[in-house]
Structure 1
């Protein structure tokens, strides 16, 4: 890879009318995250000094989403979509004074690999275009190569019959010297069938100026662009297949690989076991040796070594499970830390809570964390025992080794080693059940 500093430009301004959606194309999700996040993640592997995202259609929504993934990225607006050259021109002022190499990626092209980007940067040519040999070239732009490298790029609508017969096609991805790129983009005209400013025109402009231009090729699958719902579905299939294969290669056991769904940033350690029909949303880390049983949904959480989750459990953002924690069926954990050895068997909700080590949470326990306006925390000490059907009305603290009686509503702190019972006293009414049922049946018969 080149030792030069790197800047990244991601074009994300298109409307994507063929998606038949009010949502900007780059915000449609692939692998649990917006499309642009894939290009951003690949580009980030180059350790760029600057990242510029060019927005257009739905700019406010795209900008908001970008800020979640990369708060330092600079966002510029392409108010009119006048072509890729015009889009890059909007980004270049943000790189004023930058000396290094610029890589131009596309927010709707999610599969460009880190290895391919490294090859682009390491190539000695001053302008490098990423190409691919297409099985069916269709309406892709063609790369015309001669003895001195890449001679020109011809858009399909402007190509001759001989040029349309070429199978080496343009991906749109370009890398080049920042200063030279800025000079070339300013020279691009719009004398073409679409009346647009094509970034591809920099090839002939560079050659006319005596600069070296060349091609790096990659597999066609890396250049897959998303323009329709069908293509998005096909891309999801491809992404999941690659993610499953990578997990298996890394030593993860997938009981039924085809039913497990990954997100772009899912991290799973070796010897972890993942059951069938498990869905990973963004932000999940599973440590080595943990087990996720079937039919679980996890997002924004961390599961430590030796922990077991499920079946039918849900871990929401902020869930932190320590070593050897057990979370059973129909349990939901949100923004809560469960220390080592905690057991939450079933039918429980823990939100905004901290649970001390080796504590047992009985079935049907709920941390009542929301008062209609604000969220409040529940803190339970180590080795506590929470009886089944306990309602913990936050904010509340339960001491170490404390207990709650089943069916209790806990509204006050419980000291260490204490037993708290918060339920109405039971009263038995002899014979009342029979008399009540007889009265009800009689009423029904009379009707």
Structure 2
């Protein structure tokens, strides 16, 4: 067999980590043991595959190796009957498949982790860790909380599962809608981390976007009468349609206003817009449907000047009523700046200075561009520097540094922020 590079092993890790953990959690009923076993299996792969080559089924190899590592650990640690019983269960061939409305292992694990006994933020964080393979720092960035706070949430969630005896079983059909809100949040956060990575040399992580969209499609198939599930899928498809245009040939970030719209994926746009129209006909609006509608308006504009910012502002008004969060208010301020001018938008941004957003780069980046458009150059420079200091994404940092270098000239060109307020 051909030798395998570390990059290829990393690709397999990204593609198969969530599936392997899902299979092992279902078999073991213990999150920590499942995670550790899968991590040990990938460590073994990093040692063997460069020498022995890629096995015929990399995913099967990882799952089998992880299962064997778990059996070995249980044998070593087995001082109680229950440990012995777990090891025996792992060695026993699987019985008949469990009847369930959820047929995908990873989607099943999302619903399992979204048990109502866990706090909502803990459900989301735990599932991101297990299925997305995201680090604690990446999840903390997605939650807009300090990393130590997020780490404590993960520990508490795992302890809660153990102490409360929360079963690893598939919820019945009647219980699915109760957990839908958390499931939607999990899938969307996985997508967001893929679309705009919180750290690293690349702007996006395509495998996370693909995984989130795959899970979204599965959710719509599972719950065809839930318009918010369709809204989330539409939102992801319409956002993903722009990914190829978000960077140039050198990998530099390209804001929405400067993107080559010929590079937008028209098939994804058509599918997303069809889902938005279907949601509108249902007449049961919700946050994901409204966000999808906002992105549908963007996708309707052949040129940036054609964008109907008035309609986008109205949609953000509706979204803010459903989801009155600082992040939504910040994005609404961008739309207001485009519709009514940068001074009006800046006043709204400045009203958010004690909302907690000042810890994150996007708040300062948007504020910097609005200040630049108002020719308040010294303040804009300071805001750009604050934004640069608060991002671990190399493409985002490079973009902000270029903007900061141009700020002294105060060109006043209408750029509404690092992503042009596209969300």
- Fold shared by both chains (TM-score > 0.5): no
Question: With structure 1 as the length reference, what TM-score do the two structures score?
Answer: 0.27
Question: With structure 2 as the length reference, what TM-score do the two structures score?
Answer: 0.28
Question: When you count strand as a share of all residues, which structure comes out higher?
Answer: 1
Give the structure with higher Rg (CA). 1
